[in-house]
Chains A and B, each alone.
Chain A
Amino acid sequence: MTEVLFYSLAAISIISSILMIFHKNAMYSVLYLLICFFSVAGLFVMLNAQFLAVVHVIVYAGAIMVLFLYVIMFLNMSTPITIRKSKLVMGIAVFTGLLLCFVLTTALWSTDFGSNPAVVDQNIGLASTLGKVLFKEFLIPFEVSSVLFLSAMVGIVIFNKKDVKDE
């Protein structure tokens, strides 16, 4: 039962992410990505990480994808969009893609597949457990990333202010 559920969720997430990359219409790409997020959230629930699953849905499906959709809604839907980029941009894209590939392979390499994560700790994904880990073991990285977010927010506000003055 659990295995069937896992394999169907995994299949849905992989197929929908492939469809998202190859679909011509940007609107459908967004919707396929949404389906992918939901199946990943389902996988989180299967690992007893209810908190992560719900936050995943709220942040990615509920906020970020709405903003994506917001931009795509203003595109004309009858004409397909072709994106032409310069050689330099394409080269950088290939380089970063390879870098991501490298990071993922090293992560896979160092993973111990012998232990079943669902068996290790039943409470691992609960909000209280997660909070304790974040504020005890990973306090400094957590605070540093929050400062990073704050600086990004302040930067965006300043950029917008500048535009208003130029007019």
Chain B
Amino acid sequence: MELIIFKICLVLVLFLLSITIAAYSTFSERKVAAFMQDRIGPNRAGPFGLLQPLADGIKMIMKEEIMPADSNKLLFILGPAISMITALMTSAVIPWGPDITIGGEKVQLQVADINVGILYIMGVLSLGVYGIMIGGWASNNKFALLGAVRASTQMISYELAMGMSIVAIIMTTGSLSLGNMVEGQNGWHGMGWNIFLQPLGFLIFLICAFAETNRTPFDLPESETELVGGYHTEYSSMKLGFYLFAEYINMFLSSAVITCLYFGGYNFPFMDMVQANTHEILFALMCVGVFLAKIIFFIFFFMWVRWTIPRFRFDQLMNLGWKVLLPLSIVNMLITGAVILYNQ
């Protein structure tokens, strides 16, 4: 019973954390853009403009909601809802810290340690495209339809290379559970990260993560210079807000997955010495803090790339996915298999 209450609390905390980080990502994206373009950025709402996300949220809710006359009403509403739900579902299998003891019982800082955690993430990811496709189709607008078609093509193409790079990681760690994967990276005083074993796999996974979250340089589904607004052309008010928000939550959680798979999750250098000298709860909090710091670095990296690299053309995108990343990921998998066989 206590365990269930703890897990429900964890779910609520994770929900609020995802929402808060996503909200402040919209703010920091504008600040980072301003920094890179030598501007000041939003600084009117509150001290340093820190209340800007709140003001944006109120604006989104207050705006008039327009439903296109010829749209499919039910599916039009279902689109952003699916996007938001699938974005939030990923956080269930991510290990946020080491086990802690509450009332004499060992508790995991993870909502559900299912033994196919990484496949669960792939499954949720592949469902994410439905939100965009259904929304884009139900708008009954040519630009929205084109955006939706681009989104689905792009996500299906990059899922393959992403899956192949994950296969290489599964071969090195020998487990499908994210909890085990992170625990397996605590060698060398907490520095046995997978990035040192799988540098090529990491690069492929990172590029695919950009494509799967529809971030620049792969934001073709909503490229405003050619498709007005892409799949969310017809959306207004909070429904548009949900689409934009889901993108930021996806960014947060894919940063978390990248950290778990390649950058040791909550492991940090000399953690075994720290663990021996500090209280258990304090140590767990430190681990969570380190994990969040790594995630925030990757969110910054997403923004950094957005304001540095221009958008791809669609044929370049497909060439990169099918002719470069997929063969490279297969080669990476073969090399990993050969090395494992040689070491046996």
Contact = CB atoms under 8 A, between A and B. Distances in A.
A57 B125 CA distance: 11
A57 B127 contact: yes
A78 B114 CA distance: 44
B152 A66 contact: yes
Contact of A50 (B115, B137, B156): B115
B189 to A, nearest CB: 30
Interface string A77-114: 11000000000000000000000000000000000000
Interface residues of B, number: 29
B240 interface: no
Given A73-B145, A73-B149, A77-B140, A50 B116 contact: yes
Interface residues of A, number: 21
B260 interface: no
Given A50-B114, A58-B123, A27 B156 contact: no
Nearest to B129: A66
Interface string A148-161: 00000000000000
B119 A58 contact: yes
Contact of B133 (A50, A57, A66): A66
A127 B133 contact: no
B126 interface: yes
B115 A127 contact: yes
B307 to A, nearest CB: 31
Nearest to A70: B152
B120 A126 contact: no
Given A73-B145, A77-B140, A62 B127 contact: yes
Interface of B: 70, 72, 75, 114-116, 119-120, 122-123, 125-127, 129-130, 133-134, 136-137, 140, 145, 148-149, 152-153, 155-156, 159, 176
11 contacts: A27-B75, A27-B137, A55-B119, A58-B126, A63-B156, A66-B156, A69-B137, A73-B145, A77-B140, A127-B116, A127-B176
